[in-house]
Amino acid sequence: MRPPRFLLIALIAAPAFETLRFAFPSLAHLADTAGYVPLAGVIAALALAPLLVLPLRRLAGPAVVLLTGAGALVAVRLAVLVHGPAVPLGVAAGAVALFTTACLLSAAPPAALPYGLQAGAAVDLVVRLCFTTWDPIGQRSLPALLFSGAVPLVLALAAARLARPVPGTAEPGDAAARDRTVAVAGAATRGLIAVGPWFALHLVILTNPAALAAAAGLPLRSAGLLLLAAQATTLLAMRAARALPSGTPRAITAGASLLGLPAVSWALTGPDGAVGPVVVPLVVLGGWLAGIALALAVRPGGAGSGTLTAWVGLLALVVVVFGYQMSYLVPLGLPGSAFAALAAAVPALTALAGVRERGGSRPASWAALRAASWPPLGLVLLAAPVLLLAMPADRTLSGTGEPVPAGGLRVISYNIHEGTAPSGRLDPEAIAATLERLADGPSVILLQEVGRGWPTSGTTDLATWLAERLGMRMAYTRAAENAFGLAVLTDVPVVDVRGARLPHHPDALQDRAVLQISVRAANRTYTLAGTHLSHESSVARLREIDGLLARVRDTTLVVGDLNAAPGSPEIARLTGGGLGDAGDAGPATFPETGERIDWILTGRAVELVPGSHRVAESVASDHLPISVVIRTGDAPPSR
């Protein structure tokens, strides 16, 4: 029995998507170490990789193109499996992922291609959720290594089966024999341009469970199951859209995508992206509209293989994702939400441009639509129990009002640099191991630069992953945007948790926030205010500090990366506002410059265990973690 072609496409697309995400931390590391100009050169080289498909297609035909693309992906994944994650391999993996995707678009049967890509996004989603969103390609745990070892075999088998001849496509000995190995060689030229922007939307918002969990305030498990159901219904919506007759019905459907998809994408991204329960229907609607646009845009027919327009679409993918990220780092003149909206417009416009083509699909019967519904429904029925068993339980922190145990409470501050080590490797396990050594008793851990679906963190939900790994509960608040902010992890009961934006200054490209957690101990309620101040200018930091000081009481601790050294106007304003330095001129916390820019400042009524201030050695991040112990009764001399 021959597997459905869309499923074979999905089994190739899913690891290609994962491999592309694996490249993002490496590219971010290049920006940190070499600067933005060399990074732009590397990205331009990556964007040229799919063009290699053009001469390959002319020389060898679609079957060889397909097998070559899959073979390249197998090779780079095996290299990562043997060598382990490294920046050069990450960059190479990005180029190979784009090349493999271009090969798939150039050679796969176009009638099955949209469903295969959508199903590939669903398969990729299930895999990520089983590993709490840290892609297994970047891990060294035994389950991840076993899974990553099996992927090359699945890839090779899927590509070989997809490239096999389909009976009845040509007579033996036909001059087109090399092209009959793929059912219908070459999708519509104009349609393939939609694929790259479609994938950019899925990467940033539409199949990003961490980002949905962060924006909607949901546990990761709930967000994942909702997205899985949305993927299944999107496949049904795509089938229904392709069953529409050409002309007015398709024009209305494509027009609805053009009106709705950019608006939804804008609403879900950027510093003022939607939050709360409204995010869920917006993401589901966005997935439906994007899937329908892809189904109407990518269609059989047209001249040539479509390789060039596929490359233009993949180039748009690169531009959108990195433009989206760079808008928070350098002044581009466009907010991140504008890049998402522009990406959304491409598949919708492509669908609208193709609605007048002749010879479109005839309307499907109800029996055909019912038959088409079984694969997506089967996906949900098979994957949901697996995810319920594999994914972590709800780790959300909420106030209980109970006091913390007597004996001392350790407070830890750590800028985790999006989970990426100075070597450029995404390694949440190293972050967890560092925190585990420090948290030698009841602890509250305040983290900065926490990605929850952030592309340069590989879209990992760092807050949930670390909470699960350390056996703690967590709270999160957005800073730059929904997917990037501050988190707190703790194993003690709390009175209250709340996040808020700090006053914004025009010098700062990113919004900044404060995450407050209140704990009751020794008949007092202590408030720990975690924050990360702007790096752009002292003026911006001073305005943010004014917002912080409005929250300071005698029992407050201000904790975090303040981007300010001893003797600076910022520290002077904080200490003048009633806060004291818990570190007493402690050592540097940012090894790259040898500066002390991470602080724990305490209110007048906060009593610390003498000698408890510590700056721990670690290579898990570009910052060092710092900690103190609050005396909560009969505390030990130091910890």
pLDDT of residue 4: 83
Q: How many CA atoms lie within 13 A of 159 on its CB side?
A: 30
Mean pLDDT computed over 279-298: 93
pLDDT of residue 168: 46
pLDDT of residue 272: 87
Q: Do the beta carbons of residue 105 and residue 193 sit within 8 Å?
A: no
* φ, ψ at 620 (rounded to 5°): -80, -20
Mean pLDDT computed over 129-140: 94
* pLDDT confidence tier of residue 111, bands split at 50, 70 and 90: confident
**Token pair 């990366």 in the structure block, residue:** 561
Which CATH architecture describes the domain 409-630? 4-Layer Sandwich (3.60)
* φ, ψ at 339 (rounded to 5°): -65, -40
pLDDT of residue 550: 92
With CA atoms as reference, report the closest residue to 612 among 634, 629, 598, 595: 629
3-state secondary structure 273-293: CCCCCCHHHHHHHHHHHHHHH
Between CA 423 and CA 180 the distance in angstroms is 47
DSSP-derived secondary structure letter, 527 = E
Q: 441-464: per-residue pLDDT in tens?
A: 889 999 999 999 999 999 999 999
DSSP-derived secondary structure letter, 504 = P
* Contacts with 606 (C-beta within 8 Å, 6 or more apart), sequence order: 526, 554, 555, 556, 557, 630
pLDDT of residue 615: 93
> What pTM value is reported for the model?
0.92
DSSP-derived secondary structure letter, 130 = H
Average predicted confidence (pLDDT) for the chain: 87
Mean pLDDT computed over 531-552: 93
Which CATH architecture describes the domain 1-185? Up-down Bundle (1.20)
pLDDT of residue 623: 96
pLDDT of residue 386: 67
Q: 59-74: per-residue pLDDT in tens?
A: 888 899 999 999 999 9
Between CA 589 and CA 596 the distance in angstroms is 5
Report helix, strand or coil for 255. Answer: helix
pLDDT of residue 174: 36
Residue 40: CB atoms within 10 Å: 13
pLDDT of residue 621: 96
pLDDT of residue 149: 94
Q: Do the beta carbons of residue 446 and residue 197 sit within 8 Å?
A: no
pLDDT of residue 264: 94
Mean pLDDT computed over 6-23: 95
Whether residue 543 has pLDDT greater than 70:
yes
Lowest mean pLDDT among 27-36, 170-179, 184-193: 170-179
* pLDDT confidence tier of residue 170, bands split at 50, 70 and 90: very low
Mean pLDDT computed over 198-212: 95
Q: 369-412: per-residue pLDDT in tens?
A: 555 556 666 666 676 676 666 666 677 877 766 777 777 899 99
How do the domains of the chain map onto residue ranges? Answer: 1-185, 187-393, 409-630
Helices and strands (H, E) in the chain, number of each type: 19, 12
**Token pair 């009841």 in the structure block, residue:** 442
* pLDDT confidence tier of residue 601, bands split at 50, 70 and 90: very high
Whether residue 183 has pLDDT greater than 50:
no
Lowest mean pLDDT among 40-49, 349-358, 496-505: 349-358
Lowest mean pLDDT among 153-167, 199-213, 371-385: 371-385
pLDDT of residue 20: 96
pLDDT of residue 522: 72
Whether residue 512 has pLDDT greater than 70:
yes
pLDDT of residue 141: 93
pLDDT of residue 305: 54
